[in-house]
Amino acid sequence: MAIRQIRMRDDEALYKKCKTVVKFDEKLGILLDDMYETMQKADGVGLAAPQVGILKRAVVIDVGMGKIEMINPEIIETSGEQTGNEGCLSFPGLYGEVTRPNYVKAQAQDRNGKKFIIEGEELLARAICHECDHLDGVCFTSHVTKYLDE
């Protein structure tokens, strides 16, 4: 495993629509392992492939309930609402208030291509929304209603 460089703020990789993953090969596994290690080292709860410069639809999440890997994720159901402070490893030191659904149901594939369904509430729901946004080139800054003073 290796730590990859996290793309910051104005990096164009953060603003592009990512491609569907079609090859579930060893290279994808290495990418996911590296992303998880990079996220942990940076003390984050989620990381999307474009944040390490790879424009593919892959994310890793760990909100303290174990590692979740989602390939080609799609949010299929949401409900409720939560408003809270959000940050992003690509925007160190920047936090702002973002409203997200309180419950999210998503479908995705694992690193072997097997489909699964995941449901999350609160922080997990927020993380799924945040990371899925990254795959469409959307950063949390476009949802912030109020920035926190540092």
Q: Please give the positions annotated as active site.
A: 131
Burial class (CB in 10 A: 0-12, 13-18, 19+), 140: buried
Which residues, in sequence order, are CB contacts of 113 under 8 Å at separation 6+?
Answer: 24, 71
Interacting residues with Ni ion (CB under 5 A): 88
Residue nearest to Ni ion (CB): 88
- Residues 23, 40, 68, 123: is their CA dihedral positive or negative? negative
C-alpha radius of gyration, the chain, whole number = 14
Q: What minimum distance in Å lies between the beta carbon of 38 and Ni ion?
A: 12
| Smaller CB separation from Ni ion, 14 or 28 | 14
| Smaller CB separation from Ni ion, 70 or 88 | 88
| Smaller CB separation from Ni ion, 18 or 88 | 88
Q: What minimum distance in Å lies between the beta carbon of 19 and Ni ion?
A: 19
Q: What minimum distance in Å lies between the beta carbon of 26 and Ni ion?
A: 26
Closest CA to 22 of 72, 69, 79: 72
